[in-house]
Structure 1
Amino acid sequence: MTEAASPPTSGTHRWVSLMVRDLTTAQRFYGELFGWEFDAGPTQLGPYVRALRDGHPVAGIGESAAGAQQVVAWLPYIATRDVDATAGRIRECGGTVAVGPIEVEQVGRLAIASDVNGAAFGLWQGGPRRSAPFYGPTGTPEWNELITADTSVVSKFYSVVLGYEAAPEPAQPEELDYLTLRLDGRPVASIRGVGAAALPQDRGPHWITYFSVPDVDEGLKAVERLGGRVLGEPEVSPFGRWAKVADPEGGNFAIVRPPGR
């Protein structure tokens, strides 16, 4: 899961993880959709596998305890040099720390928190949780985006807690409530304000992960063939052609073909 290396820069998105009710079904769906292979990961929090693409770890999938009542959702893990201090800032800024900080099999420390509007995310202190670049071939995470009612308050939360500069994205239409989160001028994630009425009732504010595919239309066909659902027609943005989908247990994510690929 980790190699000996210097800790990543605080605020970078280092990992995405999914908790499901049926790990075997999830492995079959994502394995066929993205060409992932799997190996065993840390079992401290229950059954867990790492997804590999071309031998590189790109994501993790765990199985929830029997009877656990939770929404199936992809969770981004954000790097921090001091998870305890970051957890403290989260509480001070009106967020919640639900799990940890805890040690994970002597390779790092993690916490699971939620922002001031209730969207869950993870924190990771330790070495890189994947050896591949964030941008890569089919099935690698390209981007994380926060879907929330509006960007005004929550952008200040992430700026204080993780040091982001939140600014409008010039490539997006001015009428959209859309901000890009940057570190030292480099974009690392985004926040999309959709209005309270547009938030899904089963999950409210939430992060969504975009995974790369070579062809969005073929990807949508594969999602349905494998038991998932298409949640909207493909859209074109400055960041590529994309569409929102769900896995067989309802876990939302997006598939995207970035420009130039």
Structure 2
Amino acid sequence: MVKHEARGTGGVSSDSVFGVPCWVSLSTRDLEAAENFYRAVFGWQWRPNSLGDRFRVALADGVPVAGIAAIASMWQMAVAWTPYFAVPSADVAAARCRERGGTTAVGPLALPPGRAALLADRDGATFGVWEGPLITGWEEWREAAPTFIRLHTRNAFDSAIFYGEVLEWASAGKGGCEVHYDGDEVVLRSDGTVVARIHSGALEAAPDPTIRPHWQVHFVVPDVDACVRAARAEGGSALQWQEGAEEALLADPDGARFTVSVKRQP
């Protein structure tokens, strides 16, 4: 991750929000193929990252919105999109995760100007935490990406307790997250804005990775069918899609899964 530079737009500093999703990052094996694929699907441009040649930052209209790291083979990680949550301390969040039955996959480690860790909850869903200046101010990132995330898990209410304790959801501090219940889903809001949903129904031992517990990253696009055509032309695939539908589950050439939708999750 790279340090956020003030743009004169009132961007949110890293200590103004906590527990909220603040970034999404792709772990992959082939950096060039990933760049070409997501440039074709989303129109993203790319810039180098200060962390080295294996890292890139995606730009949408000049605003940093996502990261790519060619570290899947080097660090023996799954090829996947992962959401990151802002935290006051990556070390504390990782310790809380382990204390509650989760695991640490990578870190916490220093990624100047901050610290990061890649964790898994007790059902195996992977997520990241970030301590330090945000790459893009939180409100600006929410508008520019635009991205929303949903956790598919075994028990939404049990998971909400886990994440609430790890990420300090429902605390009294300003800039935190509120937890609400909507039918069989748990809804996470920050300052009235829905930032994530947790849905019950995933199976821990299911052979299909779309059924096992996981965080699903959704990207809002103007034309789902156009994204599907671009993904296929660049070697990706449509895993769940019907022509004219408002949503599609896609996979890039390396197998990373993500969703495109014509509207932001309410």
TM range (shorter): 0.7 to 0.9
Deviations 1:206-243 (Å, cap 9, x if unpaired)? 1111112111122222222221111113599xxx9322
Aligned position for 1:225:
233
Using the TM superposition, give the Cα deviation of residue 183 of structure 1 relative to its aligned residue in structure 2, in angstroms.
3.9
Q: 2:181 aligns with which of 142, 164, 168?
A: 168
Distance 1:195 1:57, change over 3 A: closer
Secondary structure of the corresponding residue to residue 250 of structure 1: coil
Q: How does 1:63-212 map to 2 (within 5 A)?
A: 63-64=70-71, 66=73, 69-105=76-112, 107-131=113-137, 133-136=140-143, 140-164=145-169, 165-169=178-182, 174=183, 177-183=184-190, 185-196=192-203, 199=206, 201-202=208-209, 204-212=212-220
**What is the alpha-carbon distance in structure 1 between the residues aligned to residue 240 and residue 148 of structure 2?**
18
Distance change (3 Å), C-alpha of 1:183 and 1:89: farther
Q: Per the alignment, in what secondary structure is the counterpart of residue 160 of structure 2?
A: helix
What CA distance in whole angstroms lies between the structure 1 residues aligned with 2:124 and 2:205?
16
CA contact under 8 A between 2:225 and 2:243: conserved in structure 1? no
**1:2 and 2:6 correspond:** no
Who is 2:19 aligned against? 11
Provide the secondary structure at the position in 2 that maps to 1:28: helix
- For residues 19 and 204 of structure 2, what CA distance do their matches in structure 1 show? 30
SS at match of 2:231: helix
Question: By how many angstroms is 1:182 displaced?
Answer: 2.8
Say whether the 8 Å CA contact 1:148–1:196 is kept in structure 2.
Answer: yes
- Written as runs of structure 1 = structure 2, the 5 A alignment for 1:16-31 is 16-31=24-39
Any stretches of 5+ residues in structure 2 without a counterpart?
A: 7-12, 170-177
CA contact (8 A) 2:231 2:237 kept: yes
Structure 1, unmatched stretches of 5+, are none
Distance in 2, Cα, partners of 1:241 & 1:135: 20
Identity, % of aligned pairs?
38
CA distance, structure 2, for counterparts of residue 32 and residue 99 of structure 1: 30
Displacement of 1:158 in angstroms is: 0.8
Shift of 1:168: 2.6
Q: Take 1:108 and 1:70, find their aligned partners in 2: how far apart are those partners?
A: 21
Secondary structure at the counterpart of residue 56 of structure 2: strand
Q: Alignment RMSD, CA only?
A: 2.7
TM-score scaled by structure 2?
0.82
- In 2, distance between residues paired with 1:69 and 1:104? 19
Counterpart residue type for residue 219 of structure 1: C
Aligned-residue offset at 1:113: 0.8
Instruction: Render the CA deviation track for 1:29-71: whole Å, top value 9, x for unaligned.
Output: 0011111111111336x61011111111110101126566432
> Do the aligned partners of 2:28 and 2:72 also contact (CA within 8 Å) in 1?
no
Structure 2 residue 257 is the aligned partner of structure 1 residue 244: no
Aligned counterparts of 1:103 and 1:213: Cα–Cα separation in 2? 34
**Amino acid of the structure 2 residue aligned with 1:136:** E
Aligned residues: 247
Tell me by how many angstroms 1:184 deviates.
5.5
